[in-house]
Amino acid sequence: MEEEEEDPSTKPLGRLSVFYYGVGHMLNDITASCWFTYLLLFLTQIGLSPRDAAIVMLSGQVADGFATIFIGELIDRFGHFKIWHAAGSLLVAISFSSVFGGCLPCSLLHNNSSTIETLSYSMFAAIFNIGWAATQVSHMAMVNCITLNSTSRVALTSSRNAFSMVANLGLYAIALVVFGVSEAVTKENTESQYRWIAYSSITVGCCFVVIFLMGTKEPRLRINLRETSRARIPWSYWFRKILYYQVAMVYLLTRLVLNVSQAYLAFFVIDDLQMAQSAKALIPAIIYVCSFVVSVMLQEIPWNGKRLKAYYCAGGIIWIFCGISILLLPRSINSYMYAISVFIGIANAVMLVTSISMQSVLIGSKLGGCAFVCGSLSFLDKMSCGLALYVLQSHQGTSPKVDVNIKEYFYFSVTRYGLGLVPAVCSLVGVVVTYFMELDSTILKPLCQPLLLE
């Protein structure tokens, strides 16, 4: 046991290592936040039908899903995490502005047909998501090659999630300013609004990518471990493990909770609750402030398998109650959405940090397959989210009107189902699957330097 504690690979990490790693996904996070929060809203505002908007979203998700598998395999074979991260970030920066920058082929062909618009946005969405996948898989897989200490792995994941919240808050701050100073009267005004949001997001995200690349060293743990640990692990090894399927299910459900709810939050706030335009930036901001605080707090806990399970279940139960509240929330008391958003933020942080950390428990010291695990789980996430959003969006506007109050009418709309029912059901299933998991119960030491002031 003493020899194991002296092994550098199991020593707890310092504060700077955790910080530099944490900022590495901010470009992905700020662009993904814009993607899930505003893409469907933007496309429908410029005239695309809900089904065409769903096709654009689906094309990006499918490209992302297949790219994660392919890129994960290449990373396992050749390594070089930072090169993949830098290349993916460059592709994201170049392509993202085109997603929200208007229809380039329409301008070249002088044809504004909906078919050409849909094809154009779908093409740029696919390119953007391929770059996004390269950055995501390389960054996620690095966690397992930086350290074998399970508590430090959770700290790295928590740091990443905390800065993800910072990125999301940055997006909503940018959006709040843009929506406040400009008015979308015409299609051109709308495209201009979102173009400014995209350019600003890319600029902020790229600054943090540079900090990550300068401050983080290429992980050497994979090279320094015993040959049996660093040898490439065949795919069949993971498919024989029950824990792989359990972790995959929990991660998939967690991503469905976060992404589907985020995609329909702005719609619900504006269309169903008829709140002020500023609420479509303010309510998401509250969610991410709460998630940031919780993510930082999670870094101070000595982690083991039982605690991962307990915290995930707690987050899932909170989301179930939030989903029920959203389903039953009438327009007359829409201000309660601010209170609900606080609990959504807490649940999001707890569920995401613990579900990603379960991947590290699954991988353990089998570093030769870490990128495949991250890539395959991400593939399931992208495909399921893309299909779920396509199905929901295809039925947008077909929901019947239901009388739930003599004085009040409101729709049990697709938006309400997407924000309330789908996340609640996914959380319930995730809690059940987590309950039956068997995770390692060993507690390793926390960070050698606390991230919170004592």
Q: Which residue has the higher pLDDT, 225 or 286?
A: 286
3-state SS, residue 405: strand
Residues 160 and 275 in one domain: no
Examine the fold and report which residue of 175, 190, 217 is the final residue of a domain before the chain moves on: 217
d(CA 257, CA 421) in angstroms, rounded, equals 10
Residue 6 maps to a domain: no
Residue 130 shares a structural domain with residue 62: yes
Q: What is the pLDDT of residue 453?
A: 34
∠ CA(308), CA(312), CA(318), 5° rounding?
Answer: 150
Last residue of a domain, one of 190, 217, 244: 217
Q: Which of 102-106, 421-425, 448-452 has the lowest mean pLDDT?
A: 448-452
Does the pLDDT value for residue 330 go beyond 70?
yes
406, part of any domain: no
Separation of alpha carbons 418 and 428, rounded Å: 15
Q: What is the pLDDT of residue 412?
A: 67
* Confidence tier at 207 by pLDDT (50, 70, 90): very high
Instruction: Write down the pLDDT at residue 398.
Output: 47
Domains identified in the chain, total number: 2
- 24-36: b (≥16 Cβ within 10 Å) or e: bbbbbbbbbbbbb
* Region 280-298 average pLDDT: 84
pLDDT confidence of 426, banded at 50, 70, 90? very high
Q: 159, 188, 217 — which closes off a domain?
A: 217
Q: What digits encode the pLDDT tens for the residues 314-324?
A: 999 999 999 99
- Distance, in Å, from the CA atom of 401 to the CA atom of 329, rounded to the nearest integer, reads 15
| Burial class of residue 378, CB neighbours in 10 A (0-12, 13-18, 19+) | buried
Position 452 pLDDT exceeds 60: no
Mean pLDDT of the chain: 80
Q: Buried b vs exposed e over 188-223: b needs ≥16 C-beta within 10 Å? A: eebbbbbbbbbebbbebbbebbeebeeebeebebbe
Residue 405 or 30, more confident: 30
**Digit-coded pLDDT (tens) for 218-248:** 876 554 444 444 456 777 788 888 889 999 9
Same domain as 255, residue 210:
no
Asked whether residue 207 falls in the same domain as residue 238, the answer is no
**Alpha carbon distance 339, 89 (integer Å):** 36
**Exposed (0-12), middle (13-18) or buried (19+): which is 363, by Cβ within 10 Å?**
buried
Confidence band (pLDDT; 50, 70, 90) for 9? low
Tell me the three state secondary structure of residue 234. coil
Q: What's residue 447's pLDDT?
A: 47
pLDDT of 387 higher than 50: yes
264 and 389 both lie in a single domain: yes
In a domain, residue 7? The reply is no
* 272 shares a domain with 169: no
Average pLDDT over residues 198-224: 83
Please check whether residue 361 lies inside any domain of the structure.
yes
Specify if 1 maps to a domain. no
Q: pLDDT band for position 210 (50/70/90)?
A: very high
Query: CA torsion 221→226→230→233, rounded to 10°?
Result: -150
pLDDT of amino acid 220: 67
Distance CA 215, CA 19 (A): 9
159 and 64 share one domain = yes
User: Backbone dihedral region of 199: left (phi > 0), alpha (psi from -120 to 50 degrees) or beta?
Assistant: alpha
What's the average model confidence in pLDDT over 260-284?
A: 81
The whole-number pLDDT of residue 299 equals 72
Tell me whether residue 407 is in a domain.
no
Residue 283 contacts residue 269 (beta carbons within 8 Å): yes
Do both 267 and 320 map to the same domain? yes
Give percent above pLDDT 90 in the chain: 22
Residues 134 and 254 reside in one and the same domain: no
Tell me, yes or no, whether 160 and 248 share the same domain. no
- In 3D space, the residue among 316, 362, 358, 319 whose CA is nearest the CA of residue 341 turns out to be 319
pLDDT tens-digit map of 107-139: 667 667 778 888 888 888 899 999 998 998 888
At residue 399, the pLDDT reads: 45
State which H helix or E strand residue 353 sits in.
Answer: helix 336-363
Q: Is residue 254 very low, low, confident or very high in pLDDT (cuts 50, 70, 90)? A: very high
H or E segment to which residue 359 belongs: helix 336-363
Predicted confidence (pLDDT) at residue 438 exceeds the cutoff of 60: yes
Q: Are residues 162 and 289 in the same domain?
A: no
Residue 451 included in any domain: no
Q: Say whether both 283 and 202 belong to one domain.
A: no
CATH number for position 122: 1.20.1250.20
**DSSP state string for 37-86:** HHHHHHHHHTT--HHHHHHHHHHHHHHHHHHHHHHHHHHHHH--HHHHHH
Give how far the C-alpha of residue 352 lies from the chain's centroid of Cα atoms, to the nearest Å.
8
Q: Given this model, what pLDDT does residue 231 score?
A: 56
Q: Is position 60 within any domain?
A: yes
Reported as a pLDDT band with limits 50, 70 and 90, residue 7 is low
d(CA 417, CA 427): 14
If one compares 439 and 320, the residue with the highest pLDDT of the two is 320
Q: Cα separations (Å) of 209 from 52, 138, 214? A: 33, 13, 9
- The tens digit of pLDDT for each residue in 58-96 reads 888 888 888 888 888 888 777 788 999 999 999 999 888
pTM value? 0.71
Neighbours of 404 (CB within 10 A): 10
Mean pLDDT of 247-263: 90
* Domain housing 386: 234-397+413-445
In this prediction, residue 407 carries a pLDDT of 42
- What's the pLDDT band for 365 if we cut at 50, 70, 90? low
Q: What percent of the chain has pLDDT over 70?
A: 83
Q: Could you tell me the two tokens for 121?
A: 């946005």
